[in-house]
Amino acid sequence: MTTEPFEHPGLLYRGSADYLAATTTFVRDALEAGRPVLVAVPAANLDLLRGALVDDGWRITFADMAVAGRNPGRILPRVLLDFAGRHRGYRAAIIGEPVWAARTPLELDACAIHEALINAVFAGRDATILCPYAVSTLRPAAILNAWRTHPQILDGGVLRRSTSYVDPLTTADDLDVPLPPVPEYAKERVVDDRADLPRLRAFVRQAAGTMLSPDRLDDLVMAANELVTNTLRHTRGGGRIAVWPESGVLVCQVDDAGPSPGPLAGRVPLPPDDTGGRGLLLVNDLCDLVRLHRHPAGTSVRVHVAT
């Protein structure tokens, strides 16, 4: 590892034995040093690690990343920063695995941005976050992004400096690729008046139909309300909202000509006395995927809620 306060190595692994050898060594070294340990990985790997660390499991915090980090935009504030904040004064040791084979390309883009931003948010903090990547099952682009978003890569037991790693905010901007176009069958409407918010909420409910449970529909409506409120607060010309179904999800997108909120918006908890800027944090909490794309004409925010 490096001598920097914060370390963020990527782990390239091939099979369960390779995975366990690296991750259990990381955990046991941290426990021996008296460090708090968080293991946040998908369920199958979580079971592997619970079984291998059964004697030490009582000293470890476990989380199913497919639940806690279903939305990659939620991982920094609600998983990583939350754990580090609850163990101030100690060097946190975290295994965070946000990338797995079942992720969609849109989710993988969001994961790569998340991985880049970890370096900006945790810079100078006393912590190590090890991020495993399954070489044999992931798309080549995901492995390339691992090299771009981690200063060092552990591969075959050898720790190498990544020559692809550059400034994390620059990388996050580079990874901010255009969203797929809104389909022609989407239901759309213009939003340009705060007094119209009740009708906006009714529009989202009508467009969603019966695809979502009542609770999940409430989540989508609240997220749409927050996004449109931000649009009306920060732009003069209002914006446009679209709602449509895709395979297994209901999608809502808000487009406007407003200024970019920046790549860290919605990813860093705000002080209790800060009364503004919580909209994107709430949207990340409510939705299963949030993609924000900044472009010359303004900003597009697309959210998914699973059906």
**CATH topology assigned to domain 6-175:** Rossmann fold (3.40.50)
What pLDDT score does 56 carry? Answer: 94
Q: Which residue has the higher pLDDT, 297 or 119?
A: 119
At 12, is the secondary structure helix, strand, or coil?
Answer: strand
Q: What is the mean pLDDT of the chain?
A: 94
- For residue 1, what pLDDT is reported? 47
Which amino acid type is present at position 217? L
Does residue 143 carry a pLDDT above 90?
A: yes
The answer on pLDDT for 189 being more than 50 is: yes
For tokens 């996050």, what's the residue? 172
- Biggest CA–CA distance in the chain, Å, is 60
Q: Can you tell me the distance from the alpha carbon of 131 to that of 205, in angstroms, rounded to the nearest whole number?
A: 39
Collect contacts of 213-217 with beta carbons under 8 A, ≥24 apart: 216/305, 216/306, 216/307
Is residue 201 predicted with pLDDT exceeding 80? yes
pLDDT of residue 277: 59
Q: What is the pLDDT of residue 258?
A: 83
Asked if residue 199 has pLDDT above 50, the reply is yes
Find out whether 73 and 35 touch, Cβ atoms under 8 Å. no
Residue 276 has what pLDDT?
57
| Interatomic CA distance for residues 196 and 181, integer angstroms | 26
Percentage of the chain beyond pLDDT 90 is 87
Residue 294 contacts by C-beta under 8 Å, 6 or more apart in sequence?
176, 260
Pairing of strands 60-64, 92-96: unpaired
pTM: 0.94
Numbered ranges of CATH 3.40.50.300 in the chain: 6-175
Average pLDDT over residues 17-31: 98
Average pLDDT over residues 167-187: 96
Topology annotation, domain 187-306: Heat Shock Protein 90 (3.30.565)
Q: Which of 69-83, 112-126, 159-173, 184-198 has the lowest mean pLDDT?
A: 184-198
Q: What is the pLDDT of residue 275?
A: 54
- CA dist., res. 206 & res. 269, Å (int): 33
Contacts of 178 (CB under 8 A, 6+ apart): 293, 295
Give start-end residues of each CATH 3.30.565.10 domain in the chain.
187-306
pLDDT on residue 235:
85
